[in-house]
Structures are given as structure tokens and as C-alpha cells.
Structure 1
Amino acid sequence: MQKTDQIAVIGAGLAGLTVARALVDRGHSVVIFDKGRGLGGRMASRRKDGWRFDHGAVALRPTEDAFTAFVNQSEAQGNAAHWKDAGGWTGLPGMSGLVKPVANGLTIHTQAEVTGLDRGPDGWTLRGPAEAAGIYFDHLILAIPQPQAHRLLSPWPYLQTQIEPAEMAPCWTQMVGFETPLPTDVTYASRNEGPISVIARETAKPGRDLPGDGWVIQASADWSHEHLERDRAEVETPLLDAFFTALDCAPVTPEIGMVHRWRYAQTAKPLGQAYLHDASLGLSVCGDWCLGNTAQDAFNSGRLLATALISE
């Protein structure tokens, strides 16, 4: 890859930001496009009326040297803290705080959904974002969930076939806040049965300043798949009922309540390789789903792709 190449990254989650950061630090020109309003993908925080909920990744649990170094650096910079209850680290002041330093200085367009790709003699053009109009890119990186990458790759069915082995699963996430703390000692729980997979007490996380007792309830993949097309109002009551049952608490009406549907929340079956790269097209694909189900997998996918592109 030449230093004069213009590179587009689609997706501002951890994988996309990691590969973009590495390329920019080596002198490459990179522009990032993301359909969301914020950065970090599933390392996300939802804020409303003084409340903050980490409604995507709950905690980071590094097991490899490179990701451990990233988390340790984030902690040293005041962007992360260890949360003993969950056996991992959380971002400060929310999970998205971990990725914002990675994005510092990068050219990023949010609310800029890419709806199609075109490859011509002058390079890649992107359909959708006004910011991409008239720009030709020498290299394109898709750092988005597998189903979204699969759709954009429809003009190149041989590439679609290469990523088809990977599978992703959905997750309904509920966020609730109570004026008075619930009468329970539970701060974090991971469950393997019933409609709920994870319960996290936001108020118990380090560095949180909330107006009350905040909780995140993540539904299981099976339950989420079964209720995927339900209206948000239809999933609130059964999830909240299951939450109170799990905590063995009498039901209480929340002061605040929200739900979020992650269509592509978890990796059900990883691709089995860190990234996909087609040098002849100038196209690469990366994401957590290439390797597994965690933020560490997203980080490694982006990091390893950047290493390969820089040495190309």
C-alpha cells in the first residue's frame, strides 16, 4: 500500500478505528464512514436525562498481550477502570470512553450510511454519504457486521462466499433506572438459561455518577432471535419481569426505561481468520466476527489487517 493511497473505512467500531489509527499513524490518508451517531459500535453508551448506560459491551477481559497493553494504556490515561465485580475493565465515563482516544485526530463522518459500492478504473466510490460524493478511494475496508458486509459485497459473489461461514446473533438490551436502589447485593450476573444472559448494575461500575440505580439487562441470543421483530414496547415487560425474578426482588416501576435492538450483537460462528483481503480489488474486510465474540477479537482483527496492509 502506497502512502499516497486514499483509504475509506466503513465502520467506526473498535475494529475500524483500530485499523484506521494504525494506518494514519504510518502516514496514510484515511476517511471513516459510519451510519451511527456515535463511535465505538457495540462499545457504546446511551445517555438520557443524566443517566448513562453501557448498552453494548459490559466489560473488557483481555487475555492477550496486545489487547492487554491497549487496556492498560487506556487505564493509565484515565479512560478505563477495573471493575472487579465483572472481572474486567469498563470505560470512563462510559464504555465509549475507551475508543474516543483511538479516534482522536481521525477523519470520521457519522450518520453517513454507505448503501452501495462501485469499483471503476479510478478506484472505489461510495453510494450514500454526501461526504463521499466525487471521491475515489484506492482501498476500501469494511469493518462492519458480517450481514452488512455481505450485502455490500453483492456485486462480488465470490467474496460473499468467503465470508458466508460466519454467523451473527441478535440481542435485545433493556436499560432501566430506579430512584431508590433495589434491595439486592447483585452487581453483575451472567446467566445461561432463561430470557436473560447478562445483568449489569451501572451504578456499581467505577467512575459512574448517575441520578439513581441504573441497570442494563441483556437478553439471550435465543430469546432475542425469537422476539427480534417485536415492537420495543412488547419486549420491555417480559424482560423486566425476568429481571426482577432473577434478582428475587419485588417489581418496581422504573424512573427511566429504554430498550435497544442489536441485530448483530454477537458472533454465533466466527469466520476463522483475522480478516479478508483482496489485493487485486483493493478491498479488505475485518471485524470481531472474523475471530470471535469479544472486543479483543475486534481489536485483533483490525490490528492484524493494518499490519498486513502496511507491509504490502
Structure 2
Amino acid sequence: MNKSPRIAVIGAGISGLSCSKNLHDGAFELFVYDKSRGPAGRMSTRRGDGWQCDHGAQYFTARDPGFRAEVARWQAAGVAGVWPARLAVFNEADGQRSETRLERFVGVPRMTAPARFLADTLPLTAQTTITRLERTPAGWQITSAEHGQLPGHFDAVLLAVPAPQAVPLLEAVAPDLAAIAAGAVMRGSWALMLRYDAPVALSFDAAFVNCGPLRWIARDNSKPGRGAQETWLLHASAEWSEAHIEETPEAVAAALLQAFGQLGGPAPQAWSAHRWRYADTEPALDKGCVWDAGLRIGLCGDWLNGGKVEGAWLSGQALARQVAQSFGAA
């Protein structure tokens, strides 16, 4: 009996989990690695003493039929729900206006929930930072910062990480893929999480802001399944974030709180800042995924497929299909 191909997936964000789940349901021996303490990537939630706040992806839409079916599966499992937010848009010219209703989904009880649901049945090794890939006659060897060379050889390696993190891993072993990753311009984003002792008297739960340093604000506890603690999330624009990427959290907080105050937001009782070094891609590529069947190495991620959670999930699915076809398991 032939041995099942050993596949290493590097990255347990939504694209890596989507790809891994698809392959795990097939005829592969799978190994998933992530440098963080757990899965989810940018579908992240900060938790503290009695409070929580989604500080990465804020919601997701589902237009593709395959992804809609997946989201329905998440809803049935209780890990996702519709967020009927009262939404506003702030423009410099015409001030505040309401936004037309779009079905927006969130993880329940926090944005990490769908990723954890996917990871539950996967062989995930967390806190493992991959630093080197080497192609040998026996297959791929992988080295991590924490554990040195990982045991055994792998028949294929799939990278589900931000483009700038993929480049140094690929340069020596897959220069064509490294060039694709190097061509993706990823931008940072500052996130500020605010905590209040009482409800904030604003007429909206979330808003797009098209002027000043802010681009998005949201009352996190208005999302389904959250607690009563009043928490708000401020996201700075990519342009402002890039210009201030090395600022101190205190300087960033001062600027974003001033902008929030101009929209009616009061000063918080406490705040926490987080710098996303690779938040989005401008513009996001439309390759879907990349698979080199000769080298047996591939790439997936939102940056390859238009951005956003849906794009990430679809990218992982597309790569899994190509891998399965290469190994004759489709």
C-alpha cells in the first residue's frame, strides 16, 4: 500500500485552515504550523479581564456559493452569525449618512471562532516559526526557530502567510514564487481598542470614515454573542498607518482618539493598541493561488485572491484542489 503524501501547511489563518481542512478530508498526511499561540491569523480577538475586542478582521461577507455554504456550516455549529449593525459613513464633504444594508457575518462569540472550529480536527503545531525550507532528493526539509529541523521529509509545502513573510522562505528554493510574493505590496494598520464603563451614546454601531486618520470604527459589543462590556475598535487607514508605522502606541492613540472625538466619541476609561504590520494588499492580486507542481510548493492567502476573509478561504480551497490533482487524489 502506498504511503499517504506528507503535506506541510505553514500558516493557520483562514486560507491555511481552508486548504488544510480540504486536504485533511482526503488521502494526505497533514502537518500544520503557525508561529502564533493559536489559529486565526488576522481574524483575531484581544481578550482581557472581563472584556474582548475583535482587532483584526471586523466582519466578512459571503457572495460565492461555496463560501456561503461554508458560512452556513459555521452558523449551524454556532461559531458565526449575522451582525445587523447600524452603519454610518462619514465623508469630508457631506458629513454622516447611513449605509445600505449588506449582510455581514462575524465569528461568535468572537472573530476567532470559525478558525478554531476549522482547526479543531487538524494536526496544528502552534508557536512554530518556520525559518528555512530546503529541497532534497527525499523531499522538503523544514526548519523552525523554536525546534530546529522538523522530523521527516515532506512531499509538498504550502505557504499560507503574508507575502513579505513568504519571500525569504522562497528566494533560495523557488525564486519564481518569491518574485510573485515580492510583487505584492502589503500595508500596515494600527488598531485601537477602547473600553468604557457605560454605553457610548452614538447613533451607530459601526462606521466607515473617509476623512482623517480613521477608516473604520465599531462598537464591538454590538456583535452577536458578545458580553455587556462596552468596547469600541478604531482602525486607522492604511495610508496613515504606513506613515506612522514606527510611532509609539501612545502617539497613535492620541491621534486616533482625537479623530474619534470629532465624530462624537468620548474618551475611554482604558485603551490598548495593536500594530498589524501586514494588514492588506494594495492592490490585492487575482491569481487565486499559486502551485508549482514540479517543485511541489504552493501559495495561498487573501493577498492572492482579492483580499478579505472570503478571498482567503477561496484561495485555500483552490490550492487544495491543485495539490490533490497533482497527487492524483482529486
Scaled by the length of structure 2, what TM-score is found? 0.89
Q: May I ask how many residue pairs the two structures share in their alignment?
A: 307
Pair 1:76 & 2:81 matched: no
Q: After the TM superposition, which of the residue ranges 98-107 and 220-229 deviates more from structure 2?
A: 98-107
Displacement, 1:142?
Answer: 0.3
Unpaired runs of 5+ residues, structure 1, are none
Rounded Cα–Cα distance in structure 2 between residues aligned with 1:58 and 1:270: 18
Other-structure match for 1:226:
243
Q: Percent identity?
A: 36
1:1-312 residue pairs with structure 2 within 5 A?
4-85=4-85, 87=102, 88-128=104-144, 129-130=146-147, 133-155=150-172, 156-210=174-228, 212-246=229-263, 248-249=264-265, 251-252=266-267, 254-312=268-326
Rounded Cα–Cα distance in structure 1 between residues aligned with 2:168 and 2:149: 19
Q: After the TM superposition, which of the residue ranges 130-139 and 195-204 deviates more from structure 2?
A: 130-139
Displacement, 1:234?
Answer: 2.1
Unpaired runs of 5+ residues, structure 2, are 88-101
Displacement, 1:291?
Answer: 1.1
Rounded Cα–Cα distance in structure 1 between residues aligned with 2:286 and 2:3: 30
Note the aligned Cα RMSD (angstroms). 1.5
Q: Counterpart amino acid of 2:106?
A: T
Judged with a 3 Å threshold, the aligned counterparts in structure 2 of structure 1 residues 30 and 4 are, in CA distance, closer, same or farther, namely same
Rounded Cα–Cα distance in structure 2 between residues aligned with 1:162 and 1:198: 30
**Which SS does the other structure have where 2:262 is aligned?**
helix
Question: Quick check: 1:272–1:290 contact (8 Å CA) kept in 2?
Answer: yes
**Which SS does the other structure have where 2:130 is aligned?**
coil
**Which SS does the other structure have where 1:266 is aligned?**
strand
**Which SS does the other structure have where 2:282 is aligned?**
strand
Rounded Cα–Cα distance in structure 2 between residues aligned with 1:27 and 1:39: 23
Q: Counterpart amino acid of 2:219?
A: R
**Which SS does the other structure have where 1:116 is aligned?**
strand
Displacement, 1:158?
Answer: 2.6
4+ residue runs of structure 1 moved beyond 6 angstroms? none
